[in-house]
Amino acid sequence: MEPEARPVHYRQLLLWDPSLGSEDDEDNEEETSELVVSNSWRPHNSLGRNEVGGLPGAWARLGAALLLLVTGFSLAARQLYIKSDPTGSQASAAPRPGGHSHPPGVYHHGAIISPAGQSQEPLGGGQGPGHWSPAMPQDHVFLAVATCSHLGRELLIAGGNVVDAGVGAALCLAVVHPHTTGLGATFWALFHNSSSGSPTALMPGPAQPLAPGLRLPSALPSLRLLHARFGRLPWSQLLGGPASLAQDGFLVDTALATALAARGTKGLCPLLCHADGTPLGAGARATNPKLAAVLRLAAQAPAPDLAGDDLLSLLVRDLGLRRPQSRPTPALEPAVQRAIPQGVLSTTPGPSTCPELLAMVGAALRSGEPGPDPCPALSAAPVSPVGTVLATVDSSGSVLLLTSSLSSPFGSGRLSPSTGVLLSDLVAKPTASAWACPLLLQGSSDDTEADMLGLVASGTPAVARVVTRALLSHLAGPQTQAQHERRQGPTLSTSVCGQGTLLQVAVQAEHAHVSSVPSSCCTVQGF
Same domain, residue pair 486 and 411: yes
Q: Give the helix ranges, DSSP H, for 22-131.
A: 23-40, 57-83
Same domain, residue pair 316 and 244: yes
Q: Give the helix ranges, DSSP H, for 195-288.
A: 219-230, 235-248, 254-263
| Helix H or strand E encompassing 525 | strand 523-526
pLDDT in tens, 346-405: 999 877 677 778 888 888 888 876 666 667 665 545 555 678 999 999 999 999 999 999
pLDDT value of position 89: 38
Same domain, residue pair 484 and 414: yes
CA pair distance 329, 228, nearest whole angstrom: 15
pLDDT value of position 498: 64
Same domain, residue pair 78 and 108: no
Domain final residue pick, 84, 113, 133: 84
Assess if residue 136 is contained within a domain.
Answer: yes
pLDDT value of position 356: 78
Say what angle helices 219-230 and 162-176 make with each other, to 10 degrees.
160
| Helix H or strand E encompassing 365 | helix 354-367
Which contacts (CB < 8 Å, 24+ apart) does range 479-486 have? none
CA pair distance 122, 113, nearest whole angstrom: 22
Domain final residue pick, 84, 111, 143: 84
pLDDT value of position 169: 97
Mean pLDDT of 2-21: 36
Question: Cβ(441)–Cβ(434) under 8 Å?
Answer: no
pLDDT value of position 372: 62
For residue 438, with 0-12 CB atoms within 10 Å meaning exposed, 13-18 middle and 19 or more buried, which class applies?
buried
The answer for residues whose C-beta is within 8 angstroms of residue 448's C-beta and 6 or more apart is: none
Domain final residue pick, 84, 115, 132: 84
- 20: confidence class by pLDDT, cuts 50, 70, 90: very low
Percent of the chain beyond pLDDT 70?
A: 64
pLDDT value of position 376: 61
Please tell me whether residue 253 adopts helix, strand or coil conformation.
Answer: coil
Q: Prior bond to 518 cis, omega within 30?
A: yes
Same domain, residue pair 212 and 361: yes
Q: List the one residue out of 436, 386, 388, 408 whose CA is nearest residue 117.
A: 388
Assess if residue 281 is contained within a domain.
Answer: no
Question: Cβ(230)–Cβ(193) under 8 Å?
Answer: yes
C-alpha Rg value of the chain to the nearest Å: 25
Same domain, residue pair 64 and 146: no
Same domain, residue pair 453 and 323: yes
Assess if residue 302 is contained within a domain.
Answer: yes
pLDDT of 293 over the 60 cut: yes
Assess if residue 312 is contained within a domain.
Answer: yes
CA pair distance 241, 6, nearest whole angstrom: 38
| Helix H or strand E encompassing 286 | strand 285-286
- What's the maximum distance between 2 C-alpha atoms anywhere in the chain? 90
pLDDT in tens, 195-232: 888 899 999 988 889 988 899 999 999 999 999 999 99
Question: Cβ(511)–Cβ(74) under 8 Å?
Answer: no
pLDDT value of position 100: 61
The percent of the chain in helix, strand and coil, each rounded to the nearest 5, is 35, 20, 45
Assess if residue 441 is contained within a domain.
Answer: yes
Q: What is the residue-averaged pLDDT of the chain?
A: 74
Same domain, residue pair 174 and 66: no
* Domain hosting residue 120, numbered range: 103-249+287-374+391-526
Mean pLDDT of 474-494: 48
Assess if residue 94 is contained within a domain.
Answer: no
Other beta carbons within 10 Å of 98: 7
pLDDT value of position 290: 97
Name, of 2-11, 262-271, 444-453, the range with top average pLDDT. Answer: 262-271
Same domain, residue pair 72 and 112: no
Same domain, residue pair 448 and 485: yes
Assess if residue 418 is contained within a domain.
Answer: yes
Q: DSSP labels for 372-393?
A: S-SSPPPPSSPPPP-EEEEEEE
Same domain, residue pair 300 and 151: yes
Same domain, residue pair 19 and 137: no
Percent of the chain beyond pLDDT 90?
A: 43
Phi/psi of residue 472, nearest 5 degrees: -65, -35
CA pair distance 171, 150, nearest whole angstrom: 13
Q: Of 504 and 132, which is predicted with more confidence? A: 504
- Look at the chain and report how many structural domains it folds into: 2
Helices then strands, counting H and E runs in the chain, come out as 12, 20
Question: Cβ(109)–Cβ(527) under 8 Å?
Answer: yes
pLDDT in tens, 59-117: 555 555 555 554 444 434 433 333 333 333 333 334 444 556 678 889 999 999 998 65
pLDDT in tens, 41-74: 233 333 333 433 444 455 555 555 555 554 444 4
Assess if residue 120 is contained within a domain.
Answer: yes
